[in-house]
Structure 1
Amino acid sequence: MVVGDLQLKGKIAVVTGGGSGINLAFVRLALKVEAKVLIADLKLLPEAETLIESSNGNAAFMKCDVSKWSDLEAIPSEVSKAFDSVADVWIAGAGVFEPRWSSFLYDTEDDHYKALQINTEHPIKLTRIAMRSCLGANKPCVVLIVASMASITGSYGAPLYCASKHAVAGFAKSMAQADVDEDCKIVCVCPGVVATPLWTSDAAKDVAKQYGYNDEMSITPEEVAEAMMEMVQSGEYPGGSLLEVSKGNLRGQLESMQSSAQAMASNSAGYQTWLENNSAPIREVWNKERGVTATIGVH
């Protein structure tokens, strides 16, 4: 069981952070191929409101603070209300860079770094909700996490942001087997610098100066959205894949489904035994959520 090719036409997608930027560009493309989309965000840009109004009921909006698990847990019921079904594709797109109100440097928060709740906990929790929803409906699903090239690099000026993106990249790679066992594909797109208000707005002048932003180094939200569409729909990108989308390298596959260590281990005599022992308790949980009693063997 591997998701493989999955056309978005006629499918339902959830997009957190879909009210603006890269994720709004993905919403446009999804609607263009006749998918239905639930945007889960704090607010909508005027162009997003217009898009929903002109969608003939194929797009809906729910107010969602992704740092709150109760808001995330409400997504499946909102999908059901809007489209009378379960979502097939889940885009964890909402995120923040290294805002002064939640950063390593200024360290003003009392109990936690909210940036980690938004950038790290939200994609992981959304994946859990997606799998529970789709296993219960016995249907394949794709979860795409909007990560960053910061998933594999570092920045002295944005250590919390880089840590948050490293975490979700590691999570996606760890979940590669879910594609094989459960028809649940979890992948990451890793954009470089993208021409969004994060860099281009008047409010972002200081940030742009600090990081040396210029138009020549950036790509457009539409270029990232096209790569996201490709990752969602093409079996060329199995679970655990990371895809770079940056200036001069719009389709640079960073990771395949198995890490090099797994690939080497798979040639050893004990690998299949290790995999079976490692996966058995995980499959037991998935089987209960799917309503299956038989044990699924190694594929």
Structure 2
Amino acid sequence: MEQLEGKVAVITGGASGMGLAFARRFARDGMRLVLADVEVPALDAAVAEFEGEGVEVIGVATDVSDAEAMDRLADAAFDRFGTVHVVCNNAGVSGSSAPVHELTTAEWAWVLGVNLWGVIHGHRVFQPRLVEQGEGHIVNTASMAGHTAFNGLAPYHATKHAVVALSEVAYHELAAAGSPVGISVLCPGFVNTRIAESDRNKPEELTRPLVPTDGEGAVDEEEVRAMIRDFFAMQQPPEQVAELVRDAVVEQRFYVFTDDVWTSAIAERHEDIVTARNPRPRGSMFEESMRG
């Protein structure tokens, strides 16, 4: 899709972080915007920002894990603009870092609902229309966690691996059908967003302490949260990622990587797989990013 001016982009998780950066970058190319987000105040602020700049935009409050909400998002986009060209299935949450055996089914369901079902619904409601009109591009936000496996954040890793696989299958299916609709899978490393604070949108009944707050090994949760915020504040800006996404859409590029910090970890994992060797020990994503 070489020409973006006048085209329509739908972005889930579009009111903050990478999604908002995507919207700003697409707006610079003259695109019209449909922003979807579960955080209504942030969504209203984002829409007001673009309206103030003369960008054609609508905001649709959307829980991407809800099939009917995604149906409404697609209907709102086509009712307003009559067409859609770029779909960014970007909404995501980090989930709990508790060990696999301690995670409740509700905690699994929340992360799978946003990270995986959000992408599934995005393909279901938008891909057939893009194929029918013979033009379009879908960008699915995965992660470097979709190519690696570290210690902790099991639901996050599982969903991001699934998004990579889903994207690859969709790519092959569209190519086999001779469709010009493109697919990209964005696999960022750490980016300066609030994803580590995504529990702000978690159902209250799922809230658990980020770290042990009593008993042996107890630490101050607020101190840990401050350290995490400081860590993410030092990472690459979402605007940098948005440039890569924009170029991937224009150039019809499938894999979108934001850095090479994780290259060795990916190579080591693939080597373990092809040699049928037991996985080598891994720390957390934070620890491995320092090592890489």
Into which bin does the TM-score normalised by the smaller protein fall?
Answer: 0.7 to 0.9
**Which 5+ residue runs of structure 1 have no aligned equivalent?**
255-299
Q: Which residue of 1 aligns with 2:130?
A: 134
Q: 2:116 aligns with which of 108, 116, 120?
A: 120
1:242 aligns with 2:239: no
**2: CA distance, partners of 1:200 / 1:67:** 18
The match for 1:24 is 20
Report the CA distance between 1:111 and its aligned residue: 9.3
Q: Does 1:187 align with 2:184?
A: yes
When normalised by structure 2's length, the TM-score is: 0.72
Which sections of structure 2, spanning at least 5 residues, go unmatched?
201-220, 267-292
How far residue 128 of structure 1 moved from its aligned partner, in angstroms, is 2.3
1:60-209 matches, cutoff 5 A: 60-83=58-81, 85-99=82-96, 104=100, 106-110=102-106, 113-136=109-132, 138-177=133-172, 178-179=174-175, 181-199=178-196, 206=224, 209=227
TM-score by length of 1: 0.70
Contact conserved, 2:92 with 2:195, CA < 8 A, in 1? Answer: no
User: How many matched pairs?
Assistant: 239
| Compared CA separation, residues 129 and 6, structure 1 to 2 (3 A) | farther
One-letter amino acid matched to 1:20 = S
The one of 245, 260, 263 aligned to 1:228: 245
Residues 55 and 139 (structure 1), Cα distance of their counterparts in 2 relative to 1, 3 Å cut: farther
Counterpart Cα distance in 1 of 2:121 and 2:108: 17
Instruction: Please tell me the residue identity of whatever aligns with 2:67.
Output: W
Deviation digits for residues 230-270 of structure 1 (CA, Å, limit 9, x no counterpart): 111113x1xxx222103779xxxx9xxxxxxxxxxxxxxxx
**Compared with structure 1, are the counterparts of its residues 215 and 200 closer, same or farther at alpha carbon in structure 2 (3 Å cutoff)?**
farther
One-letter identity of the residue aligned with 2:147: I
Residue in 1 that maps onto 2:54: 56
Q: Describe the superposition over 1:133-160 as per-residue Cα deviations: whole angstroms up to 9, x where unpaired.
A: 2233x22110001111111111212111
Distance in 1, Cα, partners of 2:71 & 2:227: 39
Deviation of the 1:48 alpha carbon: 1.2
Residue equivalent to 2:285 = none
By how many angstroms is 1:76 displaced?
2.2
Q: Separation in 2 of the partners of 1:74 and 1:234?
A: 30
Q: Identify if the C-alpha distance between structure 1 residues 247 and 141 changes in structure 2 by more than 3 Å, giving closer, same or farther.
A: same
* RMSD of Structure 2 on Structure 1 (CA): 3.1
SS at match of 2:258: strand
- Once residues 239 and 106 of structure 2 are traced to their aligned partners in structure 1, the CA distance between those partners, rounded to angstroms, is 38
Matches within 5 A, 1:35-54: 35-43=31-39, 44-45=41-42, 47-54=45-52
Alpha-carbon separation, structure 2, partners of 1:22 and 1:50: 18
Q: Which has the higher helix share?
A: 2
Distance 1:64 1:103 in 2: 30
